[in-house]
């Protein structure tokens, strides 16, 4: 899991900078792929927080990367307990890993969500029903982001993953190269 995690984190640098298009009010989601990795990204121009959700067919979880240029005090590789809350559904206690020097969107916190697990499925179900996401660390809000439109974004991520799965044999070996797609607004 760790090697695909690093590969996906590295691919985030290319599309994330190119997908920071936003509008006032509801923010835009963008979708992109590179090799067999798929990603959807949203940003909030007010808080400068960027959310990227990445997946590859050989991973059993989605990788969530939340970035903000104001988070310069994050220590690379350190574990940070954070609470993620969608609207007023109640906080999810998450152990996130800090990453510095990712791209122009700033340092970030990465964590995984396994949709096949009950808690992972619940996390995603809350996200797609919500309009906002709040990240809290040490009792203080450190980032907010509109997640309006995330249901459509997750559907696009699933479509991309289905295309990637179609290119794999039963043992997970690549059968045909998946095409790279540039970031496109959803």
Q: What is the 3-state secondary structure (H, E, C) of 17-58?
A: HHCCCCCCCCCCEEEEEECCEEEEEEEECCCCEEEEEEECCC
User: What band does 13 get if pLDDT is binned at 50, 70 and 90?
Assistant: very low
Residue 57: per-residue pLDDT: 75
Q: What is the second-level CATH architecture of the domain 2-22+29-162?
A: Sandwich (2.60)
Total-model pTM: 0.77
Residue 168: per-residue pLDDT: 54
User: What band does 138 get if pLDDT is binned at 50, 70 and 90?
Assistant: confident
The DSSP bridge partners found for residue 55 are: 38
Query: Above 80 in pLDDT, residue 26?
Result: no
Residue 182: per-residue pLDDT: 58
């Amino acid at each position: 899991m760790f090697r695909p995690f690093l590969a996906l984190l590295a691919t985030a640098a290319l599309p994330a900078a190119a997908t920071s298009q936003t509008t006032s009010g509801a923010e835009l989601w963008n979708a992109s792929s590179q090799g067999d990795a798929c990603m959807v990204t949203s940003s909030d121009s007010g808080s400068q927080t960027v959310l990227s959700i990445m997946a590859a067919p050989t991973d059993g979880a989605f990788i969530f990367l939340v970035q903000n240029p104001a988070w310069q005090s994050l220590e690379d590789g350190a574990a940070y307990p954070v609470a993620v809350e969608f609207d007023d559904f109640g906080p999810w206690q998450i152990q996130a890993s800090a990453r510095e020097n990712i791209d122009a969107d700033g340092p970030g916190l990465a964590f995984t969500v396994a949709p096949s697990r009950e808690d992972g499925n619940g996390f995603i179900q809350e996200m797609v029903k919500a309009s906002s996401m709040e990240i809290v660390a040490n009792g203080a809000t450190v980032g907010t982001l509109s997640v309006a439109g995330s249901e459509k974004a997750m559907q696009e991520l699933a479509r991309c993953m289905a295309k990637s799965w179609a290119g794999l044999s039963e043992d997970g070996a690549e059968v045909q190269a998946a095409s790279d797609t540039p970031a496109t607004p959803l």
